[in-house]
Structures are given as C-alpha cells and as structure tokens.
Structure 1
Amino acid sequence: MKTVLRALGPAMPRPATGDSARAALGAALILLITGLLLGHLPGAPAAGLIAPFGATAFLICVVPNSPLAQPWSVVIGSVVSAMAALAALWLLPASLPPLAIAGLAVALAILAMHASRSMHPPGGAVALVIVLSADPAAPPSLLYALSPVGDGAALLVLCGYLWHRLSGRTYPFRQPPVQSPNLTADPTADRRLGLRPEDLQTILTRLRLSPNLGPEDLGRALEVAEAEATARHLGGLTAADIMSRDVVALPPEATAHELAQAFRHHGFNTLPLRDAKGGFAGLIHDRDLIEADPDQPATALAQPAVTQPPEAQLAEILPLLLDTRQQSLPIVDQGQLVGIVTRSDLVALLAAKIRSQAPETA
C-alpha cells in the first residue's frame, strides 16, 4: 500500500507561495492581453482565444525554463499541430467518426512536433479542439493555423517575455553562452574539467529526459551541486574563516594615480573603497585604470559589487566568485567593511586541502 500511495502521490515539492501567485497573475494577464488583441483579427474566435492557450500560458508562466515552454516549441508546436488537424479534416473521409479523425489528428500533431523539434503538450489540444469544433461540411482553411493559432501563440510568447522581464525572471531560458571574463572563447577555468553541453544532452537523451529538461538546466543544477559538495567537503567554512582582515582600502576621494600606485605596491587585482564611516563604497579592478585620467576620482571608476556577511557559508561564496566578473568579494558586517575574499584565497584553500589529503611518500 505504501508503494502504491508513493507512486500515486505528489511527484514534486510544494512550490513557494510567492512563485505560485506570480505565475497565476502572469497567466491571467497574458491571456487577457492576448485575447483582447486576437479578438480584433478576422476569423478569430469570439473570445479571441482557443482553449489550449490556457495550457500554454501555464507552461510559460509556471515553468518558463522548460524546453516545452520555449518560443520555438510554443509557436511552431502550435502551428504544426493545427496544420496536422486541418490536413486530417481535409484528407480523411468525412464518413469516419469524428472521434477517429480527432485521434488521428492528435497522432499526426505529435509526429509533426517531433519532426520539427517543437514538442509542446498544448499542441495536442490544439489538434483536438480544431477537429471537434469544425463543421465537417466546411472545415477551416490552412490559414487558420497561422491566424488565430500562430498569432495567438506568438502573442503569448511576447507577453510572457514582457511579464518575466517585469517580474525578474529569464525567458526565453535558452540564452547565448556566457562569454568568459577575458572575452575569449575558452570557458572559465572552473568549467574546463566539467561536462560539455553536448555531453549533457547525450545524458538526457539516454535517460529520455530531453523533453522535460534542457542541458542548460542540468548544467546549472550540477554546478550548484558541485559547489555545495565542495563546501561540505571543506567542513562548513565561512567567510570569516578565510577572509583577509587587514584590508587595503582607499578613500573615495583618491585619484586614479593613487589607485595605480596602490595596485603596483600591493600587487592586487582589485581594491575596495572605504568611506569615512568605514562602510564599503565600491570595488575597483586594475583593468579600470587602463584608460583613466590620472586625476580622475576613484568614485568615477568604482563599481557596485556583491557583498556577503562574515557568517556566509562557503557554498554561498563559491558561486559568486565563479559566476561574476568581480574577482574579490567584500565582507560587510553591520555596514562596515571587515574583510575581503578573493579567488586567490579560494585557490590557496583548495590547494591546502588537496595537500592535506595527498598520501605521504617515503
């Protein structure tokens, strides 16, 4: 009984209430806007919407990183499914039972989505609703696949993009590869030993998970898991354990010439600014001085930077120094700059841990 209940029970954790509320509001808004715009198109349904668009809105707003919710899948999947249904209506004998035509239309839609790499579950509903609502004596023309189906799918994608931009999420999720900090084609050093995107895609294909999970999702999950595992392996260290406490910081009124002297004297790649009250006032990289005027004030060169408190775990620190262009992480406690953690600190820490675990030689 426990096995049965486990198999039939919820297969996912409970979503955060804020995420659910944001997704619900987004779905309502993009359906409303799409319906209003579609209602003015010739040949569109009276409500401006077709039923499968509700499922499409769900995917775009609830799981925007799913391969099934990406623009190609939404638009092309919907259009080819509609074309499959219309082809079934025009080519199959009218004497066939409507349910038989509907089943064949959905089968053709699945094959069409598979061939075009645009798997989109609402596409099956598009094919079904077109067949079941069509007049057998006068089925819609193939233009119906472009309007309102294609138009509606494209508007849902556009509205979804705008909604996620406003709510702080990324959509479409498939973005261009992140360029290395040095603006070269090489991946960052921490990623050169990992699996390549094509390796991840091979794994997903072998496990038959490609329709549900993209290589970008898997790669991101693996990176976070590896960082967490590394942090645990190093014994739950915090920023306070590894940070430099004797921080060399310049005042905001320092000039670019004074900054250059400090970089040359200490050999650092970054220098923080500390205001008169001891607070963090920005981070300056040595590369920022290349074209700077010698009398240019430090405030004009300083860049905002992510900071962390002294109690921040190593699992929180690692991704920040690996995924951003800043090479140092200021440590701030109650508004005061109390330390700094650099990539060099992490390298030294990992090297010491490796040496401590290396087998002793005679």
Structure 2
Amino acid sequence: MIARSASLLPQSALGHLGWLRGALGATIGIGVAALFTQLLLGANTAGLPWLVAPLGASAVLVFAVPASPLAQPWSVIGGNLISAAIGIGFGLGLGLGSAALAASLAVGTAIAVMIYARCLHPPGGACALLCALGASTQGWDFGHLWPILANVLALSFVGWFYNNLTGHQWPHHVELPKSGNTSAPVGHTRRDIEEVLTDWNEVLDVDVDDLDAFYQALERHVAKRRARPR
C-alpha cells in the first residue's frame, strides 16, 4: 500500500530519487553490460546473444527503485540465472514439439524456485520464458548461460557503484535507531508489523525493516509537531 501510493507521486528530474538519476544509471548499466559481454565472448559473439531482453527490466528495478526487495543483488543475479537455467532445462528436455509447454512450465517453476531461494525478481520470469523458447526452437543450451551471467554481473556492478555514488545504499538496508535515542516512545515492535502483514496475507514491495523505520520516523515527527508551541 505504501509502495503503491508512493509510485503515484510525480518525480522531478533531480532530487532524492529523480527520474533523471534512474534513467542515466540504466543507460550506463546496459551499455557496460553490452560492452563487457561482447569483450568476454570475443569470437563467440556471433553464436551467443550479447544482451538479453530481461536485462532491461532488471535495470528498471536496480536504478529506479533500488530499495525494493525485488531489486537487490541476489535477486538480480540469482533470480535471472536460476530462471534461465530452468528455462533451458525445460526447453532441452521437452524439445521443439512442446515449446509452449516448456515455456509455461519454466515460468511457473522459476517463480516457485525464486521464492524458495529468496531471490524473487520479475525479470527472472522473462528469462525463464526466453531461455525455454530459445532451447526449444533455436538450439540454445547451457552455454547460453555465460552471456546472461556476464550481463547480470556487469549490471549489478554498475548498480552497486552508481547507486552508492548517488546516495542510495545498494545493497539496500536500513539502520533502525536504538530505542534510547528516539524522541518518542515506540508503540510497536517489528513482530507487530510481521503479524499485521500475515493477517493481510499480502506481499508488499517494501521490506519489513523499511516499514519499521518509517513508522518510527513517523512517530518522532508527530511527537515533534505536538511539542511545537501553538
């Protein structure tokens, strides 16, 4: 709910999370990934893709919403690679005559494995689909994981460098203030937040620690406002 409301707010070009910062980061990230993969492949460039389309979606997450749990390094690297391997496995196993079945099974299995491995990453579903179809119809094999590995490693390196350079700690984490340093009593615990989320039975695109930090900051802000002379 918080993430959904925030996404509706207009963003300026500059500022804490301006659109220009994200757009420039994605431009650099995709460019570096392309050059690095071409350099790594060398003479094999003609036989292997030097950029895969799901990387564009990964770039949106890494540079536009770097605090999202779906945009963290393990999600980007693990989510894409695990899904790609699953896609190729189903594509090779089921063959040309069952391309549609391979694609559907690959995406479903990739989602389950990513959730279990705690690396859920939406572009991973696209990677599974791409690789299942590539293995079913274009002769792709597990050697095609090399350019995908190069892509996600290069993008993650640029994400780490660029996000930290522009004031966004990546990998993202929050440091919660100690209770003794707060100017207002904290009326909740982290477990309270977890239990409410469990009651809702929904997954929000925001980490529990971020919710905790937000609520603590909100309490301090309200306490300061109430303490101001009227």
Residue 107 of structure 2: aligned partner: 106
CA RMSD for the aligned pairs? Answer: 2.7
Q: Check whether the contact 1:102–1:131 (CA below 8 A) recurs between aligned residues.
A: yes
Equivalents in 2 of 1:110, 1:210: separation in Å? 14
Residue 152 of structure 1: aligned partner: 151
Q: Check whether the contact 1:26–1:61 (CA below 8 A) recurs between aligned residues.
A: yes
Change (3 A) 1:189 1:137: closer
Residue 218 of structure 1: aligned partner: 211
Opposite residue 167 of structure 1, the aligned amino acid is T
Change (3 A) 1:68 1:231: same
Q: Check whether the contact 1:68–1:211 (CA below 8 A) recurs between aligned residues.
A: no
Question: For 1:212, what is the secondary structure of its paired residue?
Answer: coil
Match of 1:17 among 4, 13, 19: 13
Higher share in helix: 2
Question: For 2:130, what is the secondary structure of its paired residue?
Answer: helix
Higher share in strand: 1
Tell me the CA shift for residue 193 of structure 1.
4.2
Equivalents in 1 of 2:89, 2:49: separation in Å? 25
Q: Check whether the contact 1:68–1:119 (CA below 8 A) recurs between aligned residues.
A: yes
Question: For 1:125, what is the secondary structure of its paired residue?
Answer: helix
Opposite residue 217 of structure 2, the aligned amino acid is V
Matched pairs, number: 217
Equivalents in 1 of 2:131, 2:206: separation in Å? 29
Q: Which has the higher contact order (CA 8 A, sep 6+)?
A: 2
Residue 133 of structure 2: aligned partner: 132
Q: Could you tell me the TM-score, scaled by structure 2's length?
A: 0.82
Equivalents in 2 of 1:35, 1:90: separation in Å? 26
Match of 2:62 among 60, 65, 69: 60
Change (3 A) 1:20 1:108: same
Equivalents in 2 of 1:122, 1:211: separation in Å? 18
Unaligned runs of 5+ in 1: 1-9, 181-186, 239-362
Change (3 A) 1:226 1:137: closer
Map 1:218-297 to 2 at 5 A: 218-234=211-227, 236-237=228-229
Change (3 A) 1:11 1:72: closer
Equivalents in 2 of 1:91, 1:134: separation in Å? 9
Q: Could you tell me the TM-score, scaled by structure 1's length?
A: 0.54
Residue 188 of structure 1: aligned partner: 179
Opposite residue 14 of structure 1, the aligned amino acid is P
Change (3 A) 1:190 1:107: same
Q: Check whether the contact 1:84–1:112 (CA below 8 A) recurs between aligned residues.
A: no
Deviations 1:242-297 (A, max 9, x none): xxxxxxxxxxxxxxxxxxxxxxxxxxxxxxxxxxxxxxxxxxxxxxxxxxxxxxxx
Quote the sequence identity (%): 28
Change (3 A) 1:14 1:87: same
Opposite residue 232 of structure 1, the aligned amino acid is R
Unaligned runs of 5+ in 2: 1-5
Q: Check whether the contact 1:34–1:49 (CA below 8 A) recurs between aligned residues.
A: yes
Residue 207 of structure 1: aligned partner: 200
